[in-house]
Amino acid sequence: MPADILTLHPAPLPPSEAARRRAMLLHPSNVTPRASDSSLQEPGSARQAEELAARFDGLHQEMLNRGLPAREALTEVARTAARDIWDGFALRLRRHRAAGEQIDANVVAVALASIQCMTRALPRHPGDLDYAARTVSTARRRLQYNGGLLHRLHPHRNPAFQEAVATLQSLEAFLNNRHRTAA
């Protein structure tokens, strides 16, 4: 009596999901989030985004009043926001280490490494809006990806990741909107 061997074939993926998976295999920062990923945001995130946009507008106006050209003022806003995010993570890292919370300190250290590309690159290219927008976008994607990996390894989420991602999303939208109006 011959044995029947059943072969299970995976269901075919939609082309967009297949492309997303191929991009993930090449490098995690190439992945664009799915629409369902962005729908998991907290209800207060819209209000927070508006507050951040108002803060970025005020900072941009202050830079213009100091006499900076418009494009350079926008990249200075991005640099200032990157420095604020970096300082916030560094403060959390010092607090966790002082309290002896090594796991949380390691999580924050990963966040600092994720945004390091932004804090080093933005001061080198003043006035280059395309470069600033790409740098902020890359830092946000790295932070989201590394935060997702850490969430799988570390049971509780660190709120610093969500706060920084929200700030970077607002900054990215601010730069893209200003870039469109400047062009």
Domain with residue 153: its CATH number is 1.20.120
In a domain, 86, yes or no: yes
Within-domain flag for 64: yes
- pLDDT one-digit tens code per residue, 24-42: 666 555 555 555 444 444 5
**154: number of CA atoms within 13 Å, CB side?**
18
In a domain, 44, yes or no: no
Residue 36 covered by a domain:
no
Q: Which helix (H) or strand (E) holds 141?
A: helix 129-153
Q: Indicate the pLDDT class of residue 58, thresholds 50, 70 and 90.
A: confident
Say what the pLDDT of residue 1 is.
53
Average pLDDT estimate for 153-165:
75
Q: Which residue segment(s) compose the domain that 150 sits in?
A: 54-182
User: In this structure, what token pair is assigned to residue 7?
Assistant: 């072969």
Alpha carbon of 116 to those of 4, 13, 52, 57: distances in Å? 56, 35, 21, 24
Mean pLDDT of 155-173: 81
Q: What is the pLDDT of residue 36?
A: 46
What the block records as the tokens of 112 is 């600092």
Mean per-residue pLDDT of the chain: 78
Domain count, the chain: 1
Is 67 inside a domain boundary?
Answer: yes
Alpha helices in 100-128 (DSSP H): 102-121
* Across 93-119, average pLDDT: 87
Helix (H, G, I), strand (E, B) or coil at 148: helix
Residue 141 located in a structural domain:
yes
Handedness of CA 139, 142, 148, 150 (dihedral sign): negative
> Which residues, at least 6 apart from 64, have a Cβ–Cβ distance to it below 8 Å?
70, 73
Find the mean pLDDT for residues 149-171: 78
